[in-house]
Amino acid sequence: MVKDSLQPNVITFNTLIIGCCKEGKLHEANRMLSEMKSVNVIPNIVTYNTLINGFCQTGNSEMGSRLYEEMVRNGIKADILTYNALILAFITGQCVSKNSENAFQLYKSMINSGCHPNKHTLQVLISTFCENEDFDGAIQIMQKMLERCMSLDTGIFSELYNGLCRCG
C-alpha cells in the first residue's frame, strides 16, 4: 500500500487490527499498532478497544491493562466496551478472588469517569461477588441497578440464590 503511494489511515489500520484479532494473531495486531504510530496515524478508541478485547479474551489481561493505560495517557477516554472487556478479564482470570477487587476498582473508575455501566457489567460483578461469598457487595450492585431503573431478571436472582446455597 505504501509502495503504491497510498497512505493508510486509522480506518485502514483498524480494519487490519480487527482482522488479526479475529484470527487470534494478537502479536501481528500489536505490530500493526506500532506500525500505525510509526507512520503518524493516531490510534483511536476502536483501535484500543479491539486490542484490549483481543488480549483480554485470550487471558492476557496484563497486556489489556497496559493498552488501557496507554490509551488513557494518549487522552482517549475509555467507553463501556473498554471497561467491560477489562472487568470480564479480571474476574475470569486464574485467581478470581484476587482479581475481583481489581474489577471492582475498575468499576469505580468507570463511574468516576462518567461512563455508566450497562446491565452486562453489573451482572458480571454480581456473579463475581457471589462466587467470592461477598453478598453485601452483590446487594450493593443490585441496589445500583434498581436506582438506575434496570430490571433484575431471574438470572441475577438465581446467581444470588445459588451463591447463598453454596454458603449454607
Q: How far is CA 163 from CA 127, 139, 156, 158, in A?
A: 9, 12, 11, 8
* Residues 142 and 152: beta-carbon distance below 8 Å: yes
pLDDT digits (tens, 9 = 90+) for 100-157: 677 788 888 898 999 988 888 888 888 888 877 788 888 888 888 888 888 888 888 8
DSSP 8-state code for residue 25: -
Cell of 95: 485467581
Cα–Cα dist 145/10, whole Å: 37
pLDDT in the model for residue 70: 97
At residue 40, does pLDDT exceed 80? yes
Domain positions in the chain are: 1-102, 118-168
* Residues 87 and 57: beta-carbon distance below 8 Å: no
Measure CA 47 to chain center.
Answer: 14
pLDDT in the model for residue 96: 47
Asked which of 75-84, 94-103, 157-166 is least confident by mean pLDDT, the reply is 94-103
Residues 6+ apart with CB under 8 A from 164: 130, 135
DSSP 8-state code for residue 43: P
* Residues 33 and 17: beta-carbon distance below 8 Å: yes
At residue 99, does pLDDT exceed 60? yes
With bands split at pLDDT 50, 70 and 90, how would you rate the model's confidence at 34?
very high
pLDDT in the model for residue 139: 86
Cα–Cα dist 71/74, whole Å: 5
In 3D space, the residue among 51, 79, 49 whose CA is nearest the CA of residue 63 turns out to be 51
Q: What is the pTM of this model?
A: 0.80
Q: Among 1.25.40.10, 3.40.50.10190, 1.10.8.60, 2.60.40.10, name the CATH number for the domain at 1-102.
A: 1.25.40.10
Measure CA 73 to chain center.
Answer: 17
* Residues 78 and 72: beta-carbon distance below 8 Å: yes
With bands split at pLDDT 50, 70 and 90, how would you rate the model's confidence at 4?
low
